[in-house]
Amino acid sequence: MQLVKAQHTAKTHTTGAIGLISILIVYFAVTLSLAPTAIVLAQQPTQITGQTQGAVRALAATTATTQKETALNQLDTVQPDTTTDTAATAIHPFRVNVPQEALDDLRRRIIATKWPEREYVTDQTQGVQLATAQKLARYWATDYDWRKTEAKLNSYPQFVTNIDGLDIHFIQVRSKNPNALPVIITHGWPGSIIEQLKIIGPLTDPVAYGGKAEDSFDVVIPSLPGYGFSGKPTATGWEPVRIAKAWIVLMKRLGYNKFVAQGGDWGNAISETMALMAPPELLGIHTNMPATVPADISKALASGGPMPAGLTADEQNAYQQLDFFYKKGLGYANEMGLRPQTLYGVEDSPVGLAAWMIDHDARSYDLIARVFDGKSEGLTREDIVENITLYWLTNTAVSSARLYWETRQIAKGGFFDPRNVTIPVAVSVFADEIYAAPQNWTEKAYPKLIHFNKLPKGSHFAAWEQPQLFVNELRVSFKSLRQSE
């Protein structure tokens, strides 16, 4: 893969102590009982080309030569990095140019897939159905054009900077409005920066999309360590605390003295961890996958007994959703949390990778299956396949999975346990998320709740699937924080 990093020249881009580890959680814990010093980047333009299959798919351009060993998961307090050395904080433009041989190899592998027999049930209870997988593979091998995705990615300003010994890739789009509110938006698994591309225009240029100039955002979308075009950690320690710390460094390095954060999935864990650090620059956060489940509900779910009496309709719905997910939806998280290195098959087979990724949760899988049946949904076949292709070409199936393992090493609670966030929080509940958080749970979990709304549609990948609703939620959520700057 050919990736070019040039010395950064654009002027616009030159510019409390909490026991985090005791509450930092593993993403979708394996059982319900668990209910920076930067290094100097080269100052000369760097060109990296891959000549073999492995090198082509490795994105070596995003790998740091050294990595500082830290013990963040053993500390009781974490403070943002305040490194100011200009060489150590260099920011380099980044473009993607995948060699044709990598795309030809991908197509050959898809066509050569060794298929299993069809499932012998009529639903998805045995996993990704053969018909869906074959429709996806057929589209991927014959109709999908990575070059369109590549051009789309390269139409946005992309950069790489080294934080705490690791190259971090990110998109940064500044609004023309000088009073725009900076926001850092974090994806999860099996997501990527591709999830957020649809919301960049409406957030940075709201007038062009029917909004008001005062709704403008500067948008920063980083790739998680081990994901996409960011570097792959070569030693332990890159869990949500360290990532949250890196995100704070990134926003300050970009010159922002006030900003907000947004995330779902891993993005929620990282945004909430940033909120727990409470740097003065962070005004508030927005989440579309909040951590609100009360302790008594988590205990009841863990026991496997009947639903507690006296729950409201919304609470009963959330309980049933969580019960289903914990009993039947945690297979992928169990494997990645315990044995991520074992996933050689999804690193070597495009169709294996695709099936692994689209089987994240029942509702989003149902949507994806409908898309490949020809139905019109919030996602298209191209949307789905370009995200999978990004994982394939960057060879990040295993490196991305390690985030689950890393977090499990320090986990003390469940992913949906309230974390006592004390800064302003906005919550958007999309109807087909893994669980729809009831308002009363949310109000208890976030004492400074500034916005709560239930959306009539939208699944786990809300920004990707329902970008207009998502953008409207961010505009409303942060309006009061703009006024308080």
Q: Indicate which residues carry an active-site annotation.
A: 265, 404, 460
Chain Cα centroid distance, residue 54: 25
List the one residue out of 274, 252, 249, 275 whose CA is nearest residue 424: 275
3-class DSSP assignment, residue 249? helix
SS3 assignment for 393-405: HHCCHHHHHHHHH
CA distance 284 to 449: 10
Close Cβ partners of 411 (under 8 Å, ≥ 6 residues apart) = 24, 25, 26, 29, 34
Lookup: tokens for 209: 């999309």
Close Cβ partners of 329 (under 8 Å, ≥ 6 residues apart) = 361, 362, 434
Question: Left, alpha or beta for 446 (phi > 0: left; psi -120 to 50: alpha)?
Answer: beta
List the one residue out of 318, 316, 298, 294 whose CA is nearest residue 307: 316
Close Cβ partners of 441 (under 8 Å, ≥ 6 residues apart) = 292, 293, 294, 297, 315, 318
3-class DSSP assignment, residue 169? strand
3-state helix, strand, coil in the chain (%, to 5): 45, 15, 40
CA distance 243 to 237: 10
Lookup: tokens for 466: 């329902």
CA distance 50 to 101: 10
Q: How many CA atoms lie within 13 A of 82 on its CB side?
A: 4
List the one residue out of 5, 1, 11 whose CA is nearest residue 41: 5
CA distance 138 to 351: 10
The answer to whether 115 and 28 have CB atoms below 8 angstroms apart is no
- Burial code (b: 16+ CB inside 10 Å, e: under 16) for 191-220 equals bbbbbbbbbbbbbbbbeeeebeeebbbbbb
Q: Tell me the residue type at 206.
A: P
Close Cβ partners of 287 (under 8 Å, ≥ 6 residues apart) = 262, 263, 264, 267, 268, 271, 272, 425, 426, 427, 428
- Burial code (b: 16+ CB inside 10 Å, e: under 16) for 99-119 equals beebbebbbebbeebeeeeee
Beta-strand (E) ranges in 325-480?
425-432, 449-459
